[in-house]
C-alpha cells in the first residue's frame, strides 16, 4: 500500500514537473533583447572574468563576443577533446596567452587527431580574420561531408598507437626475460 502511495505521489510530481517544463519552454529567452540591442555581437562586461584561453583574437582586441568568436571557442573545445581534457595553453599564465594568440600562436593538436580535422580547424576555425572564419553552420557542413574520412583516420591512428605500444611492451618483456 505504501508503494502505491509513493508511486502516486511520484506520478503527481512528474506531472507537475512536466507541466512546469512546458510553461518554461514558452517563456522568452532573456538574452534575446541583448541580441536585438547589440546585433550579432555582445560586449564583454568589464570587471567580469572571461575565459581567456578560449577567446578569439578579435574578442581580445575589441572586447565583443560574436558567433564567429564562438566558432573559435569550438575549435579550442575540439582541441580539448583530442587532448584528453588538458587545459589549453596549460604551461602559460593567463597574462601570456592573449599576446601569444594575437601574434598568431595556435594550439597544436596531438598526433591522435585526424590530420584533415586538425588542418581544417587551424585553417578555417582559428584564422585570425573573423570575416574568413567559418560559421558553425559551415563547420558542421564540413564535418558531415568528411565524417567517414575522419572516422577512418581516427581508427587507424588508434590502431597504430595500440600496435606501437603493444610491440614496445612485448620487446621490453622479452628483454627482461633474457637478462634474467
130 in any annotated domain? yes
103 in any annotated domain? yes
The structure's pTM equals 0.64
Of the pLDDT bands very low, low, confident and very high (cuts 50, 70, 90), residue 41 is confident
Q: Which long-range contacts (CB under 8 A, 24 or more apart) does 104-108 make?
A: 104/128, 107/76, 107/79
Percent of the chain with pLDDT over 90: 53
17 in any annotated domain? no
Rounded distance between C-alpha atoms, residue 157 and residue 163, angstroms = 10
Residue 82 sits in a domain whose CATH number is: 1.10.510.10
Rounded distance between C-alpha atoms, residue 9 and residue 6, angstroms = 5
Average pLDDT over residues 71-75: 98
Quote the domain boundaries for residue 78: 53-179
- Which of the two residues, 24 and 114, has the higher pLDDT score? 114
107 in any annotated domain? yes
The pLDDT value recorded for residue 5 is 54
27 in any annotated domain? no
12 in any annotated domain? no
37 in any annotated domain? no
Number of domains composing the chain: 1
47 in any annotated domain? no
Residue 49: is its pLDDT beyond 60? Answer: yes
CB 121 within 8 A of CB 60: no
Amino acid at each position: 500500500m505504501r508503494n502505491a502511495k509513493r508511486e502516486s505521489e511520484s506520478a503527481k510530481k512528474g506531472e507537475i514537473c512536466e507541466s512546469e517544463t512546458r510553461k518554461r519552454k514558452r517563456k522568452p529567452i532573456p538574452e534575446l533583447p541583448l541580441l536585438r540591442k547589440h546585433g550579432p555581437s555582445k560586449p564583454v562586461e568589464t570587471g567580469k572574468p572571461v575565459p581567456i584561453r578560449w577567446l578569439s583574437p578579435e574578442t581580445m582586441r575589441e572586447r565583443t563576443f560574436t558567433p564567429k568568436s564562438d566558432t573559435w571557442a569550438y575549435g579550442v573545445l575540439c582541441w580539448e577533446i583530442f587532448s584528453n581534457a588538458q587545459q589549453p595553453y596549460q604551461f602559460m599564465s593567463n597574462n601570456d596567452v592573449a599576446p601569444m594568440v594575437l601574434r598568431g600562436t595556435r594550439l597544436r593538436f596531438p598526433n591522435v587527431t585526424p590530420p584533415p580535422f586538425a588542418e581544417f580547424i587551424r585553417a578555417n576555425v582559428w584564422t585570425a580574420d573573423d570575416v574568413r572564419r567559418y560559421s558553425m553552420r559551415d563547420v558542421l557542413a564540413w564535418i558531415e561531408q568528411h565524417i567517414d574520412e575522419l572516422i577512418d583516420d581516427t581508427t587507424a591512428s588508434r590502431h597504430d598507437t595500440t600496435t606501437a605500444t603493444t610491440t614496445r611492451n612485448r620487446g621490453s618483456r622479452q628483454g627482461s626475460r633474457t637478462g634474467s
